[in-house]
Amino acid sequence: MQIYYSKKHKGHSFGLPNSGPADVDLYYENPGRVDSILKALRSTKWAEILPPHNLGLEPILQVHTVRYLDYLKDAYKNWMDYSDQANIAYVPYKPGFEPGTVKFDKIPDQDGFFMTDMYVPFNMQTYAAAISSAQCALSAAQTLVTQKQTTFALCRPPGHHSGPEVCGGFCYLNNAAIAAQWLSRLGKVAILDIDYHAGNGTQAIFYERPDVLTISLHADPAWEYPSFAGYAHETGSGRGKGYHQNYPLPHRTADELYQKTLALSLQLIDKFSPDFLLVSAGFDTFLGDPLGDFEISRSGFSMVGRMISDMHLPTVLVLEGGYKIDELGANVATLLIPFILDVVN
Protein backbone atom coordinates (compact mmCIF):
# COMPACT_ATOMS: atom_id res chain seq x y z
CA MET A 1 0.00 0.00 0.00
CA GLN A 2 1.32 3.43 -0.92
CA ILE A 3 1.28 5.82 2.03
CA TYR A 4 1.90 9.53 1.59
CA TYR A 5 3.70 11.41 4.34
CA SER A 6 5.39 14.80 4.59
CA LYS A 7 8.08 15.76 7.09
CA LYS A 8 6.74 19.32 7.10
CA HIS A 9 4.20 18.37 9.77
CA LYS A 10 7.03 18.44 12.34
CA GLY A 11 7.19 22.22 12.18
CA HIS A 12 3.60 22.44 13.40
CA SER A 13 4.55 21.79 17.03
CA PHE A 14 3.94 23.71 20.22
CA GLY A 15 6.15 23.33 23.25
CA LEU A 16 4.95 25.30 26.23
CA PRO A 17 7.44 27.71 27.86
CA ASN A 18 10.13 25.79 29.77
CA SER A 19 8.61 22.45 28.75
CA GLY A 20 11.55 21.25 26.68
CA PRO A 21 12.06 20.74 22.92
CA ALA A 22 9.20 21.49 20.59
CA ASP A 23 8.85 17.85 19.61
CA VAL A 24 8.16 16.94 23.27
CA ASP A 25 5.14 19.16 23.61
CA LEU A 26 2.07 18.91 25.79
CA TYR A 27 -0.43 19.44 23.01
CA TYR A 28 -2.59 16.43 22.12
CA GLU A 29 -2.30 16.93 18.36
CA ASN A 30 1.48 16.70 18.26
CA PRO A 31 4.20 15.15 16.04
CA GLY A 32 4.36 12.07 18.24
CA ARG A 33 1.14 10.89 16.63
CA VAL A 34 2.87 10.50 13.26
CA ASP A 35 5.99 9.02 14.83
CA SER A 36 3.85 6.26 16.36
CA ILE A 37 2.19 5.51 13.02
CA LEU A 38 5.44 5.52 11.03
CA LYS A 39 7.07 3.16 13.51
CA ALA A 40 4.23 0.66 13.14
CA LEU A 41 4.03 0.93 9.35
CA ARG A 42 7.79 0.62 8.86
CA SER A 43 7.71 -2.67 10.73
CA THR A 44 5.43 -4.16 8.06
CA LYS A 45 6.33 -5.57 4.65
CA TRP A 46 3.48 -3.88 2.80
CA ALA A 47 3.77 -0.17 3.64
CA GLU A 48 5.50 1.92 0.95
CA ILE A 49 5.99 5.36 2.49
CA LEU A 50 6.35 8.13 -0.07
CA PRO A 51 6.59 11.94 -0.09
CA PRO A 52 3.55 13.70 -1.57
CA HIS A 53 3.41 15.12 -5.06
CA ASN A 54 2.82 18.83 -5.44
CA LEU A 55 -0.52 19.30 -7.16
CA GLY A 56 -0.48 23.02 -6.44
CA LEU A 57 -3.04 25.27 -4.78
CA GLU A 58 -5.78 24.98 -7.39
CA PRO A 59 -7.30 21.75 -6.01
CA ILE A 60 -7.30 23.30 -2.53
CA LEU A 61 -9.02 26.42 -3.85
CA GLN A 62 -11.82 24.22 -5.19
CA VAL A 63 -12.79 23.71 -1.53
CA HIS A 64 -11.43 26.71 0.39
CA THR A 65 -11.62 30.40 -0.54
CA VAL A 66 -8.73 32.63 -1.53
CA ARG A 67 -9.24 34.96 1.42
CA TYR A 68 -9.23 32.00 3.82
CA LEU A 69 -5.92 30.69 2.47
CA ASP A 70 -4.53 34.22 2.72
CA TYR A 71 -5.63 34.28 6.37
CA LEU A 72 -3.89 30.98 7.13
CA LYS A 73 -0.75 32.04 5.30
CA ASP A 74 -0.41 35.38 7.07
CA ALA A 75 -2.06 34.76 10.46
CA TYR A 76 1.09 34.18 12.50
CA LYS A 77 3.03 37.00 10.87
CA ASN A 78 0.12 39.38 11.34
CA TRP A 79 -0.32 38.32 14.95
CA MET A 80 3.29 39.19 15.65
CA ASP A 81 2.30 42.84 15.19
CA TYR A 82 0.40 42.41 18.46
CA SER A 83 2.94 40.35 20.43
CA ASP A 84 6.66 40.06 21.03
CA GLN A 85 6.48 36.41 22.14
CA ALA A 86 7.82 34.93 18.92
CA ASN A 87 8.58 31.45 20.21
CA ILE A 88 5.22 30.39 21.63
CA ALA A 89 2.08 29.14 19.95
CA TYR A 90 -0.34 31.67 18.59
CA VAL A 91 -3.77 30.60 19.84
CA PRO A 92 -6.17 33.08 18.21
CA TYR A 93 -9.63 33.87 19.41
CA LYS A 94 -12.27 36.55 19.10
CA PRO A 95 -16.04 36.05 19.32
CA GLY A 96 -17.65 35.77 15.90
CA PHE A 97 -19.62 38.41 14.04
CA GLU A 98 -21.87 38.69 11.02
CA PRO A 99 -20.04 38.56 7.68
CA GLY A 100 -19.78 41.93 6.02
CA THR A 101 -19.80 43.97 9.23
CA VAL A 102 -16.02 44.41 9.37
CA LYS A 103 -13.08 44.78 7.04
CA PHE A 104 -10.60 41.93 6.95
CA ASP A 105 -7.56 44.12 7.47
CA LYS A 106 -6.65 43.30 11.07
CA ILE A 107 -5.91 39.97 12.66
CA PRO A 108 -8.43 40.17 15.57
CA ASP A 109 -11.26 40.76 13.11
CA GLN A 110 -10.07 37.91 10.91
CA ASP A 111 -9.87 35.53 13.88
CA GLY A 112 -13.51 36.10 14.72
CA PHE A 113 -14.62 35.25 11.20
CA PHE A 114 -12.32 32.38 10.26
CA MET A 115 -12.30 30.37 13.51
CA THR A 116 -14.87 28.19 15.25
CA ASP A 117 -12.87 27.61 18.45
CA MET A 118 -9.49 27.99 20.15
CA TYR A 119 -8.16 24.54 19.16
CA VAL A 120 -6.18 25.88 16.21
CA PRO A 121 -2.84 27.30 17.34
CA PHE A 122 -0.53 28.79 14.73
CA ASN A 123 3.21 29.13 14.43
CA MET A 124 5.29 30.24 11.48
CA GLN A 125 5.24 26.73 9.97
CA THR A 126 1.56 25.87 10.42
CA TYR A 127 0.53 27.01 6.94
CA ALA A 128 3.25 24.96 5.23
CA ALA A 129 2.29 21.90 7.29
CA ALA A 130 -1.38 22.30 6.37
CA ILE A 131 -0.59 22.64 2.66
CA SER A 132 1.65 19.56 2.69
CA SER A 133 -1.03 17.61 4.56
CA ALA A 134 -3.53 18.44 1.82
CA GLN A 135 -0.98 17.39 -0.80
CA CYS A 136 -0.70 14.00 0.92
CA ALA A 137 -4.45 13.49 0.49
CA LEU A 138 -4.35 14.69 -3.12
CA SER A 139 -1.40 12.40 -3.89
CA ALA A 140 -3.30 9.43 -2.46
CA ALA A 141 -6.31 10.29 -4.63
CA GLN A 142 -4.10 10.64 -7.70
CA THR A 143 -2.52 7.23 -7.05
CA LEU A 144 -5.96 5.70 -6.60
CA VAL A 145 -6.86 6.86 -10.11
CA THR A 146 -3.61 6.08 -11.88
CA GLN A 147 -2.69 2.80 -10.19
CA LYS A 148 -6.14 1.55 -9.14
CA GLN A 149 -5.06 0.73 -5.60
CA THR A 150 -6.18 1.69 -2.11
CA THR A 151 -3.96 4.37 -0.57
CA PHE A 152 -3.47 5.99 2.82
CA ALA A 153 -2.75 9.67 3.42
CA LEU A 154 -0.86 10.18 6.67
CA CYS A 155 -2.17 13.70 7.12
CA ARG A 156 -1.11 16.02 9.89
CA PRO A 157 -2.62 18.41 10.73
CA PRO A 158 -5.97 16.66 10.29
CA GLY A 159 -8.83 18.27 8.40
CA HIS A 160 -12.44 17.23 8.89
CA HIS A 161 -13.44 20.15 11.15
CA SER A 162 -12.33 22.70 8.56
CA GLY A 163 -15.03 24.23 6.37
CA PRO A 164 -14.72 26.44 3.29
CA GLU A 165 -13.69 29.44 5.39
CA VAL A 166 -13.16 28.16 8.93
CA CYS A 167 -10.55 26.36 10.97
CA GLY A 168 -11.22 24.58 14.25
CA GLY A 169 -10.62 21.41 16.21
CA PHE A 170 -6.93 21.04 15.21
CA CYS A 171 -7.97 21.36 11.51
CA TYR A 172 -6.90 24.04 9.01
CA LEU A 173 -7.54 22.55 5.54
CA ASN A 174 -10.04 19.76 4.93
CA ASN A 175 -7.76 17.10 3.46
CA ALA A 176 -10.46 14.49 2.80
CA ALA A 177 -12.80 17.03 1.21
CA ILE A 178 -10.01 18.36 -1.02
CA ALA A 179 -9.25 14.83 -2.23
CA ALA A 180 -12.96 14.10 -2.68
CA GLN A 181 -13.47 17.26 -4.70
CA TRP A 182 -10.53 16.33 -6.93
CA LEU A 183 -12.02 12.85 -7.48
CA SER A 184 -15.55 14.22 -8.07
CA ARG A 185 -14.47 15.37 -11.54
CA LEU A 186 -14.23 11.70 -12.43
CA GLY A 187 -17.36 10.27 -10.81
CA LYS A 188 -19.51 10.09 -7.70
CA VAL A 189 -17.75 10.13 -4.33
CA ALA A 190 -18.79 8.93 -0.89
CA ILE A 191 -17.05 10.16 2.26
CA LEU A 192 -17.30 8.00 5.37
CA ASP A 193 -16.11 9.72 8.56
CA ILE A 194 -15.27 7.35 11.41
CA ASP A 195 -13.60 9.86 13.71
CA TYR A 196 -14.93 10.21 17.26
CA HIS A 197 -16.00 13.80 16.57
CA ALA A 198 -18.54 14.87 13.95
CA GLY A 199 -17.04 15.87 10.61
CA ASN A 200 -18.72 19.26 10.62
CA GLY A 201 -16.37 20.82 8.08
CA THR A 202 -16.91 18.05 5.54
CA GLN A 203 -20.65 18.27 6.15
CA ALA A 204 -20.65 22.03 5.45
CA ILE A 205 -18.58 21.73 2.27
CA PHE A 206 -20.85 19.20 0.54
CA TYR A 207 -24.19 19.90 2.26
CA GLU A 208 -25.95 21.10 -0.91
CA ARG A 209 -24.44 18.61 -3.37
CA PRO A 210 -25.94 15.35 -4.64
CA ASP A 211 -22.73 14.05 -6.23
CA VAL A 212 -20.87 13.58 -2.93
CA LEU A 213 -22.52 11.47 -0.24
CA THR A 214 -21.23 12.32 3.24
CA ILE A 215 -21.74 10.11 6.30
CA SER A 216 -20.38 10.61 9.81
CA LEU A 217 -20.43 8.25 12.80
CA HIS A 218 -19.52 10.12 15.97
CA ALA A 219 -20.21 11.02 19.57
CA ASP A 220 -23.49 12.86 20.01
CA PRO A 221 -22.81 16.61 19.62
CA ALA A 222 -25.41 17.27 22.31
CA TRP A 223 -22.59 16.52 24.75
CA GLU A 224 -19.42 16.41 22.65
CA TYR A 225 -17.43 18.66 20.32
CA PRO A 226 -18.31 20.34 17.97
CA SER A 227 -21.76 20.85 19.58
CA PHE A 228 -23.23 22.99 16.78
CA ALA A 229 -23.29 20.29 14.07
CA GLY A 230 -23.52 16.54 13.66
CA TYR A 231 -27.16 15.97 14.60
CA ALA A 232 -29.31 13.27 13.02
CA HIS A 233 -31.79 15.72 11.51
CA GLU A 234 -29.05 17.35 9.40
CA THR A 235 -29.46 15.54 6.08
CA GLY A 236 -28.41 18.09 3.45
CA SER A 237 -30.31 20.91 1.78
CA GLY A 238 -31.36 21.98 -1.69
CA ARG A 239 -30.12 19.54 -4.31
CA GLY A 240 -28.11 17.86 -1.57
CA LYS A 241 -31.12 16.95 0.55
CA GLY A 242 -30.77 13.31 1.56
CA TYR A 243 -27.08 13.12 0.66
CA HIS A 244 -25.76 13.64 4.16
CA GLN A 245 -26.27 11.38 7.16
CA ASN A 246 -25.12 11.78 10.76
CA TYR A 247 -25.12 8.91 13.23
CA PRO A 248 -24.73 10.42 16.71
CA LEU A 249 -23.78 7.68 19.16
CA PRO A 250 -24.12 7.49 22.97
CA HIS A 251 -21.50 7.57 25.70
CA ARG A 252 -19.21 4.55 25.89
CA THR A 253 -20.18 3.15 22.50
CA ALA A 254 -18.31 -0.14 22.04
CA ASP A 255 -17.66 -2.55 19.18
CA GLU A 256 -21.10 -4.12 18.79
CA LEU A 257 -23.14 -0.91 18.50
CA TYR A 258 -20.46 0.76 16.42
CA GLN A 259 -20.38 -2.07 13.90
CA LYS A 260 -24.17 -2.16 13.65
CA THR A 261 -24.18 1.56 12.88
CA LEU A 262 -21.34 1.18 10.42
CA ALA A 263 -23.34 -1.52 8.62
CA LEU A 264 -26.20 0.99 8.17
CA SER A 265 -23.72 3.51 6.77
CA LEU A 266 -22.31 1.00 4.31
CA GLN A 267 -25.82 0.15 3.12
CA LEU A 268 -26.33 3.82 2.26
CA ILE A 269 -23.02 3.89 0.44
CA ASP A 270 -23.91 0.75 -1.49
CA LYS A 271 -27.24 2.29 -2.52
CA PHE A 272 -25.46 5.48 -3.65
CA SER A 273 -23.09 3.34 -5.74
CA PRO A 274 -20.08 5.69 -5.72
CA ASP A 275 -17.13 5.48 -8.04
CA PHE A 276 -14.76 6.36 -5.18
CA LEU A 277 -14.78 6.10 -1.40
CA LEU A 278 -12.96 8.47 0.97
CA VAL A 279 -12.58 7.40 4.58
CA SER A 280 -11.86 10.06 7.19
CA ALA A 281 -10.07 7.63 9.46
CA GLY A 282 -10.08 8.82 13.06
CA PHE A 283 -8.75 6.61 15.85
CA ASP A 284 -9.98 8.61 18.85
CA THR A 285 -12.82 6.11 19.18
CA PHE A 286 -10.28 3.78 20.81
CA LEU A 287 -10.78 2.70 24.42
CA GLY A 288 -8.87 5.10 26.66
CA ASP A 289 -8.29 7.87 24.12
CA PRO A 290 -7.82 11.11 26.10
CA LEU A 291 -10.24 13.04 23.89
CA GLY A 292 -13.06 10.50 23.68
CA ASP A 293 -15.15 8.10 25.71
CA PHE A 294 -15.92 5.39 23.15
CA GLU A 295 -14.62 1.88 23.81
CA ILE A 296 -13.60 0.52 20.42
CA SER A 297 -11.04 -2.27 20.78
CA ARG A 298 -8.04 -3.14 18.62
CA SER A 299 -10.01 -6.06 17.17
CA GLY A 300 -12.84 -3.62 16.61
CA PHE A 301 -10.62 -1.60 14.28
CA SER A 302 -9.81 -4.78 12.40
CA MET A 303 -13.50 -5.48 11.89
CA VAL A 304 -14.16 -1.89 10.81
CA GLY A 305 -11.39 -2.20 8.24
CA ARG A 306 -12.78 -5.52 7.02
CA MET A 307 -16.34 -4.18 6.71
CA ILE A 308 -15.19 -1.20 4.66
CA SER A 309 -12.76 -3.16 2.49
CA ASP A 310 -15.51 -5.70 1.75
CA MET A 311 -17.27 -2.93 -0.20
CA HIS A 312 -14.54 -3.45 -2.84
CA LEU A 313 -14.57 0.23 -3.76
CA PRO A 314 -11.60 2.31 -4.92
CA THR A 315 -10.67 3.78 -1.55
CA VAL A 316 -8.52 6.54 -0.09
CA LEU A 317 -8.06 6.57 3.69
CA VAL A 318 -7.13 9.89 5.27
CA LEU A 319 -5.84 10.26 8.82
CA GLU A 320 -7.94 12.40 11.15
CA GLY A 321 -7.83 12.13 14.97
CA GLY A 322 -6.43 9.63 17.46
CA TYR A 323 -4.56 10.76 20.56
CA LYS A 324 -3.63 7.67 22.55
CA ILE A 325 -0.21 7.90 21.01
CA ASP A 326 1.34 4.73 22.36
CA GLU A 327 -1.44 2.69 20.72
CA LEU A 328 -2.09 4.81 17.64
CA GLY A 329 0.39 3.19 15.25
CA ALA A 330 -0.84 -0.33 15.96
CA ASN A 331 -4.46 0.80 15.56
CA VAL A 332 -3.75 2.38 12.18
CA ALA A 333 -1.94 -0.72 10.91
CA THR A 334 -4.77 -2.92 12.18
CA LEU A 335 -7.37 -0.91 10.26
CA LEU A 336 -5.29 -0.99 7.05
CA ILE A 337 -4.43 -4.70 7.01
CA PRO A 338 -7.84 -5.86 5.67
CA PHE A 339 -7.31 -3.64 2.61
CA ILE A 340 -3.97 -5.37 2.00
CA LEU A 341 -5.56 -8.80 2.38
CA ASP A 342 -8.33 -7.78 -0.02
CA VAL A 343 -5.70 -7.11 -2.71
CA VAL A 344 -3.87 -10.39 -2.00
CA ASN A 345 -7.08 -12.39 -2.18
Taken in order 234, 261, 166, 81, the sign of the CA dihedral is positive
Phi, psi of 146 (to 5 degrees): -80, -35
53 catalytic? Reply is no
CA atoms within a 13 Å half-sphere pointing along the CA-CB vector of 237: 6
User: Of 283, 222, 220, nearest to 250 (Cα)?
Assistant: 220
For 190-229, give the DSSP string: EEEE-SSS--HHHHHHHTT-SSEEEEEEEE-TTTSTTSSS
Distance of alpha carbon 292 from alpha carbon 40, whole angstroms: 23
Show Cβ contacts of residue 184 under 8 Å, excluding neighbours closer than 6 positions: 211, 212
CA atoms within a 13 Å half-sphere pointing along the CA-CB vector of 164: 10
**CA torsion angle 130 135 140 141 (round to 10):** 110
Active-site residue, selected from the candidate residues 161, 197, 218, 244: 161
Helix/strand number for the chain, H first, E second: 10, 8
Distance of alpha carbon 21 from alpha carbon 11, whole angstroms: 12
Distance of alpha carbon 242 from alpha carbon 236, whole angstroms: 6
Query: Which positions are annotated as active-site residues?
Result: 161
